[in-house]
Structure 1
Amino acid sequence: MTGRQKLVLTLLLGSQFMIAVDFSILNVALPVVGDGLGFSLAHLQWIATAFALAAAGFTLLLGRIADLFGRKRLFIGGMALLGLSSALGGLATTPEVLLTARVLQGVATAAVTPAGLSLLTTAFREGPLRDRALGLNGALMSAGFTTGAVLGGLLTELLSWRWAFFINVPVAAAVVALAPSLLTESRIVCRHRLDLPGAVTVTGGLLALVHGLARAGESGWGEPLALTSLLVGAALLVAFWYVERRSPAPLVPVRIMRRPTVVWGNTAGLIAFATETSLVFLLTLYLQEVLGYSALATGLAFGVLGVGTVAGGVLGGRAVSRFGSRAAILGGGVVQAGATLSLVALGTSGGWLYLLLAATFVGGAGNMLLIVGFMVTATSGVADSEQGLATGLATMTQQVGITLGIPVMSAIVATRTGTGTGTETAPDAVLSGVTGAVLVNSLLVLAGSLLAAYRLRRAAGQGHRAGRAHSVV
């Protein structure tokens, strides 16, 4: 890399890391925030859900806006909004103000993440340098999620939960100050206007889908509002597909959604994020409800997972360059599934912590290898003019996965816990629910990575045979 490329990479990776930290920095501090601002226990999860709802719902739309009107411009604007909304959250004195700040943080994330990834992929040509850059980006994104848990516990214990917001302000200010001189503007020269029908249907569909998932995790899958939101979301997403087939300038061209690399790369990414982030939720229950750990100790325990993800990300780019992204998806999925499966053996004594630490380190490395394979696959073979679209799809996959996994695993835990006998103690009941969900989690990542790798291999074989037939003709 040139000196300028290193500076650009540092700036973009730093911003993506901060975005990832924001996903989880409040998770271990939610009870403290609720006590401070008067949230009821039933509504506490909306502090996290409000962020995820906006981040997932607006990612695809803002990724396309970045393509059409300038990725650099949207990236800087999103970082400025993130700094301002973080300041608002830190100063909040009512639940309404805090939730407004979280929604604005989610919108800022939906702008910064695809724009930043587009700037990253267009700054490095497809090949080893891009693979390495995406590997580092994936490592920091995943490490940021676990770092957020550690940092949230430390800030809450030592200072105040408000510093989980305030810490973003100087970082955002530094990025806004440096980005204009370091980044090069990138956008499509296009005469068409933005596809408004497509934007309305996909944004509305994603918002309804994520809202339904959040309601299901809170009140159960049979709750009427949750079912209604899920059905409305599915209907709008189906309508989006038909709108895009007829649009002269579609938000997401149907041709890109038919590419095997885009479809199966994003499938692998959805599985990777849904399983690993929900595993953090399951192990939080185990550490606090079964072993009796504090929020700070729980956050520190996840530091080992963060180290594993960094190791997997650093090696991931090289592994993809040497063995290919399909092999990275398969190998990473198998390693993550095996490490997760070992957690079924967890018990109620503190000695099981060593198994948890070893399994999360190995599983984190495997998960990161799977994520790097997903990012490289989902953005390969796509023209620079469509990189915002490809990275927007990948980012949407990531955020929907993060939102999808926890309600599903939470429902499994609730079902298993509710069937316990009256002779079980509370820790035993929680442990039964956690280990049952861990087993499902392991099988899900194994099946998803095997399926994605198989379909990608089959598509590559068909492409190779078609190329040979064309050569013969």
Structure 2
Amino acid sequence: MSDTPASPPAASAAARAALPLGTLVAGCLAVCLAQIGLAIPATLNGLFQEHLHPVGSQLTWISDAFLLPVAVLELTFGVLGDLFGRKRLLVGGAALMCAGEAVAAGAMGIHQLWVGQALAGLGAAALFPTSLAMIAAGTHTGAQRARAIALWASSLSAGGFLAPLLGGITGTYGSWRSAFVVVAVLAAVSAAVSLWLAGNSRAPEGRSLDIGGQLTIGAGLFALLYAVIQGPADGWGSAPVVLAFVLAAVFLGLFVAAESRARSPLLRLDLFRNRSFAVASVVAVVGMFSFLGTAYAVSIRLGPIQHQTPLRTAFAFLLLNGITPVLTPLTSRLLHRLPARALLTDGLALIAAGDFLAAGLDAADRDLTSLILPLGLVGVGFAFTVSSITATAVNTVPLPLAGMASAATNLLRDFGFTLGPAVIGAVALSQAASRVTSALTTSPLNAQSRAAAHEVLKEGGPLALNSVPAASPPGAARAYAFDALGHGYAIGFVVCGSAALFSALLVVTALRGREAAESAPRAEDGTQRSVLTTG
């Protein structure tokens, strides 16, 4: 009899400790949506080139207009959620994505498409950190948190898997506008689910906005990306590009000064005194640059260069993104059995091998089976790399700093993602423009065809020349543009492979014997360490 009254309180405590199902569903749907929005334009670059006729670097800005707000504002939205409530950001972020995708779907020109992508990226910047923070805040034990974060990570991977399917199907059987409409509908559903089902949470204690840090890093990163992307089109010595590089250096220097004095900084600079964390940070930028640079080069090869359908392009992106969720159980087990740096080294080496193989493919080879080995290696390598970068960073700093270390690594990883299309587009287009100009000078084409080709090249670059009708005067020069673009993006693959190889060698040489020593004091707290590793 005495045990009976104790049962209801015990059951009530267990219920309070459980993460509400509605919050879990809302958070997982939100991060899946954000990843779909980030990844879906890659399968549509060929259609953008065909219908909107972007010139020079305009195609690159379609991807980076979304990525830049994510890289710059992700940490700030994490603070805003802590201060004012995470449910508001989850609903507002999905609403912003819905609005941005609608603007992109109705774009009458390239500039409106940029605006839509930027709005959607702003929404995604709110969804990525808020969805994870809301799920983590709703759990009260290490085991619950590990399971919830694993589901969140699986939902993110599912978004990367679904995006090429949605883009491929809608782009092939509908239009590129249909793809943005589908994402807008998903965003509206996500906003409604978050509004009706998600529980609210906030943690304002000790949190404040770092206005100086946010303004300086935003201006610095934008100036840097502008200079890198516009360099091939405007000339590396042109006044706007040189000024942008100078402004980037000034504002990034001001960011370092601001963070060293801020009471609640966006980025704890003292973390970089830890050699292992500093190395992991470099690898986060360079390694993720390598992966997304590869993805961008693949999208341009299959789309604007070879003019393959979005559905065929989607096959390549399933190899790049679809392997990660399939390998999640394996990578999770390997992270518990092996040092994170070992898995990180292997993953980067696989990415490098895949890129070097891709660089050797003939640009005229339209057989998708040729891509299976190189892109499969990159996909497996990415699955290992993305899982182990954060683990390498957070397992080598004191436990109280692990949250900041994870957030900083996410920021640097997203910056690497943003650099990928910018740098590879700049390198490939610069090489292609130089090669096609030289080829036209010595070509046997008549004067009218050469003059027309040079005019197209001047206005739109090699991609525009590769897309002109074959029967037009400049059409006779398409073969030269095709060859030059194949050469340029092959060099892009080499750059990506070299970056991944450099990162692998850096991990091997700089972290040899350090990870075990630095993480030893934390080994006693196995539950919390496994939670951090999963996140």
Smaller-chain TM-score range?
0.7 to 0.9
- Aligned equivalents of 2:311, 2:339: Cα separation in 1: 39
For residue 229 of structure 1, report the CA deviation from its aligned partner. Answer: 1.9
Residue among 409, 413, 419 paired with 1:398: 413
Which residue matches 2:356?
A: 341
Structure 1 residue 277 corresponds to structure 2 residue 292: yes
Determine which of 249, 263, 281 is the counterpart of 1:248.
Answer: 263
Q: What residue is the counterpart of 1:16 in the other structure?
A: 31
Matching residue of 1:434 = 489
Native 8 Å contact 2:100 2:120 kept in 1? yes
Q: 2:61 aligns with which of 46, 56, 68?
A: 46
- Is 1:332 paired with 2:387? no
TM score, norm. by length of structure 1: 0.83
| Of 196, 201, 204, the match for 2:216 | 201
Residue identity in the other structure for 1:151:
L
From the superposition, tell whether residues 83 and 9 of structure 1 become closer, same or farther in structure 2 (CA, over 3 Å). Answer: same
Contact 1:290–1:428 (Cα < 8 Å) also in 2: no
**Partner Cα distance (1:429, 1:234) in 2:** 33
| Cα drift, residue 441 of structure 1 | 1.6
Change (3 A) 1:383 1:374: same
3-state secondary structure, aligned to 1:162: helix
Matched residues in 1 for 2:114 and 2:519: separation? Answer: 51
Distance 1:400 1:458, change over 3 A: same
Matching of residues 55-454 of structure 1 within 5 Å:
55-93=70-108, 97-122=112-137, 141=156, 144-145=159-160, 147-179=162-194, 181-183=197-199, 185-190=201-206, 193-216=208-231, 218-260=233-275, 262-288=277-303, 293-348=308-363, 350=365, 353-380=368-395, 387=403, 389-417=404-432, 418-419=434-435, 422=439, 425-454=480-509
RMSD between aligned residues: 3.7
Contact map agreement 1:313 1:365 (CA 8 A) in 2: no
CA distance in structure 1 between the partners assigned to 2:430 and 2:100 by the alignment? 38
Counterpart secondary structure, 1:377: helix
The answer to whether the 8 A contact 2:64-2:422 is kept is no
**Which string of whole-angstrom CA distances, capped at 9 and with x for unpartnered residues, describes residues 195-223 of structure 1?**
32222222222232233333236545444
Cα pair 2:18 2:140 within 8 Å, conserved: no
- Alpha carbons of 1:221 and 1:341: their partners in 2 closer, same or farther (altered >3 Å)? same
Provide the C-alpha distance between the structure 2 equivalents of 1:348 and 1:412, rounded to a whole number of angstroms. 17
Q: Tell me: CA distance 1:124–1:429, structure 2 relative to 1, closer, same or farther (3 Å).
A: farther
1:455 aligns to 2:489 (yes or no): no
Cα distance in 2 between the residues matched to 1:407 and 1:183: 39
Please state whether the residue corresponding to 2:176 is helix, strand or coil.
Answer: coil
* Structure 2 counterpart of 1:25: 40
Instruction: State how far apart, in whole Å, the 1-side matches of 2:321 and 2:25 are.
Output: 19
State the distance in 2 between where 1:68 and 1:296 align: 43
Q: Deviations over 1:349-373 (max 9, x none)?
A: 5486423112212320111210011
d(CA) in 2 for partners of 1:74, 1:442: 38
Cα offsets for 1:83-123 (capped at 9, x unmatched): 23333433445655543332221211221112223335555
Contact 2:343/2:384 (CA < 8 Å) preserved in 1? Answer: yes
Deviation, structure 1 residue 243: 1.8
> CA–CA distance in 2 between the matches of 1:360 and 1:25?
18
The Cα of 1:145 is off from its aligned counterpart by 4.3
Q: Aligned pair count? A: 464
2:69 alignment partner, SS class: helix
Between 46-55 and 440-449, report the one with greater CA deviation: 46-55
Q: SS in structure 1 opposite 2:265?
A: coil
Contact 1:53 1:211 in 2 (8 A): no
C-alpha distance 321-224 of structure 1, shift in aligned 2 (>3 A): farther
Letter in 1 for 2:224: L
Encode CA deviations 1:362-399: one digit per residue, 9 max, x unaligned: 32011121001113334555768973x54543333233
SS in 2 for 1:330: helix
**Cα distance, 1:179 vs structure 2:** 3.3
What secondary structure does 1:167 align onto? helix
Deviates more, 1:91-100 or 1:234-243: 91-100
Quick check: 2:85–2:202 contact (8 Å CA) kept in 1? yes
- 1:249 Cα deviation from its structure 2 partner: 3.1
Residue identity opposite 2:491 in structure 1: G
Closer, same or farther in 2 for the Cα pair 1:228/1:256, shift >3 Å?
same
Aligned amino acid, residue 203 of structure 2? R
Identity %: 23
What secondary structure, in the 3-state scheme, does the structure 1 residue paired with 2:201 have?
coil
CA distance in 2, matches of 1:6, 1:323: 33
Aligned residue in 1 for 2:469: none
1:57 CA displacement = 2.5
Aligned partner letter, 2:244: S
TM-score, structure 2 as length reference: 0.74
Tell me how far apart the structure 2 counterparts of residues 89 and 290 of structure 1 sit (CA, whole Å). 23
1:20 positional shift: 1.8
1:30: how far off? 4.6
The aligned residue for residue 471 of structure 1 is: none
Where 1:451 maps in the other structure, the secondary structure is: helix
Q: Note if contact 2:45-2:299 (Cα within 8 Å) is conserved in structure 1.
A: no
* Aligned counterpart, 1:470: none
SS in 1 for 2:322: helix
Report the structure number with the largest CA radius of gyration. Answer: 2
